[in-house]
Amino acid sequence: MKVYFDKQASTGDINASMFTVKDDVTDEVYGFTMSYNSGTGYSGIADSAMNKGTTVTLSLTNALKYDRLYKVTISNLLRDNNGISLGNYKNRRDLTFKIRTPRSASDGSYSAAPVVTYTIPNTTSNDTYAAYEDNLGAIFDRPLDATFVANDLLDTTDAVYGMTSNYTRNGVAVVYDSVIDASYVTGAENYKAFGNQANTYFFFPECVNSNSYAIYNRVYDAGSKKYTLSIPSVQDVYGTWWTINSSVTFETVDSDLPGWMESAPVDNGSSDGILRITWDAPPASYGATPSGYNVYVSDSEYAQYTLLNTEGLITSGTSYSKDVGAGDYYVRVVPVKNNIVNGSYPGSSGFSRVVLVTVTP
């Protein structure tokens, strides 16, 4: 199984523990060994402006079964060479998508309609308002027909099946740039839709591999800007047409998220059962100035993290201490900006890199 990223990653920022593969019905976990390649030609995208990235190969211990749906989860902690984590623009949510296997070794058709996973979820609560830097994409559970992709799904003039025509803000098609170059298109919020070479993922890039090209963003203001992407029908790689009437609707945050942290927090002499850490604020150019910070701890580097400062947001500088008892703690920090979601709720960037703190008695 191959998983493609349109950013480059390095050892320490990508780990086998960040991936899980499960049967969607039984929750049976599939073991695997992981390898990866990063650099030019590994994004899974053919376009020369987007071909730098990372290909992760999961070599499964046991083969997947035929005619089954599987779910693949990628930890929000995975980050690229720039220090931006997968969860940075997603309120630290993991990404889970589905894959379906064909009916049998001799029958390459599929027994059910495609499942579509959108990289931005429907706005259903105050933690799902979208950052305007986050690329909108659609992941299909199987490859789509290459001719359908080229002539319909990615055709900017196709008003029925085309993703570009069916991406709207307040009912009006979102303005896009059809050419990746340094020239900006007035009012554009992204480039036209692109897809990967496997024909399983299609998205609207807001930026590409180089800052010398135009960079776009969605507009903000959650109260009045509703985006919708609709995908009515598709043709899969076997040639079967499916009417799926799939769509996602979301709103955007009111203002920019805080920037991400470049470095891990630092142990500041934890002893006497008290955890003490300090950290550096995000660079000003990375986003909004944080209103404060939250500190999270875990007993495992890549497992679930728990909020430590339950007494409230840390607003008095970039250090924190708390009596936690002796032990080893994996610690990450999250910058937070108040009142940027629906005018009332805080927004945050992703988890920082981790520091292992040993608190002595």
Per-residue pLDDT in tens (0 to 9) along the chain, 361 residues = 999 999 999 888 999 999 999 999 999 999 999 999 999 999 999 999 999 999 999 999 999 999 999 999 999 999 999 899 999 999 999 999 999 999 999 999 999 999 999 999 988 877 788 998 999 999 999 999 999 999 999 999 999 999 999 999 999 999 999 999 999 999 999 999 999 999 999 999 999 999 899 999 999 875 667 999 999 999 999 999 999 999 999 999 988 999 999 999 999 999 999 999 999 999 999 999 999 999 999 999 999 999 999 999 999 999 999 999 999 999 999 999 999 988 888 999 999 999 999 999 9
**Any idea where the domains of the chain sit in the sequence?**
2-251, 266-359
* Two structure tokens written together for 300: 């495992």
| pTM summary value | 0.95
Pick the CATH number of 266-359 from 3.40.50.720, 1.10.510.10, 2.60.40.10, 1.10.10.60: 2.60.40.10
